[in-house]
Amino acid sequence: MKSLVWTLIGALLLAVMFVVPASAAQFIKPNDRIVFLGDSITAQKLYIKYIEDYFTSVEPDMKVTFVNAGVGGDRSSAAVNRVQKDVIDQKPTVVTICFGMNDAGYRPAVDMKGLQTFKDGLRKLISMIRTQTNARVVLLTTTCVDDKGHDKLKGYNITLTRFVAETKKIAAKEGVPVIDLYHPMRAALANGQRTDKTFTLIPDGVHPNAAGHEIMADTILNAWGESLE
């Protein structure tokens, strides 16, 4: 599923350190059932579709199945109330958890109470999934925003970097892999805007377009040891 976007920014993506169990072994196994838990970016279904398309076309014999558990406007703390129905009852073998965009409150400065609520929510989600399933949990960091033409988002990327950092700390403490989506997206955005000031991967400032979702999917598949050549 190598794309023109990936070709353009490949060097930048390879420069990003993914905090994942990097090895030649594939993370996804035959007959895995992957549930993607998240907010409206997950609910857009695009990066999940690209991942599903990859396994359908490149690894059809693995018979991997997919469940989208994204809900618009959701936060980690709110997702605790639906994790039983939307995740655990789906009998997953792999669960990705992607929150932070809404949790940070769209503030140009970090709200420490909101950050703590975010962290508590992530820990609770991991605990509930681990207690009631044998699924391998993967944390995905939030993506970035594009504040060009969106004055209300000025400074928000700085806030989001704190939530990204805390996601990585929780992953390390809980012993689960984490895939950084923020930095590849922001690097690709900056790279495109250096040559074209109108370039964007996030038209409304928050939700990635198809090219942005392809970067997300490629980043996840690469971290999972899948060959994109």
Do 202 and 146 meet the contact criterion of CB atoms below 8 Å apart?
A: yes
- 53 vs 39, 120, 215, CA distance in Å? 21, 34, 14
Q: Determine the pLDDT at residue 164.
A: 98
Q: Determine the pLDDT at residue 75.
A: 98
Q: Determine the pLDDT at residue 193.
A: 96
Q: Determine the pLDDT at residue 227.
A: 81
Q: What is the pTM of this model?
A: 0.89
d(CA 72, CA 44): 9
d(CA 188, CA 209): 13
pLDDT in single tens digits along all 229 residues of the chain = 444 344 444 434 433 333 443 344 899 999 999 999 999 999 999 999 999 999 999 999 999 999 999 999 999 999 999 999 999 999 999 999 999 999 999 999 999 999 999 999 999 999 999 999 999 999 999 999 999 999 999 999 999 999 999 999 999 999 999 999 999 999 999 999 999 999 999 999 999 999 999 999 999 999 999 987 6
Name residues whose C-beta falls within 8 Å of residue 81's C-beta, 6 or more positions apart in sequence.
none
Do 146 and 188 meet the contact criterion of CB atoms below 8 Å apart?
A: no
Domains of the chain: 4-20+30-223 (3.40.50.1110)
Q: Determine the pLDDT at residue 29.
A: 97
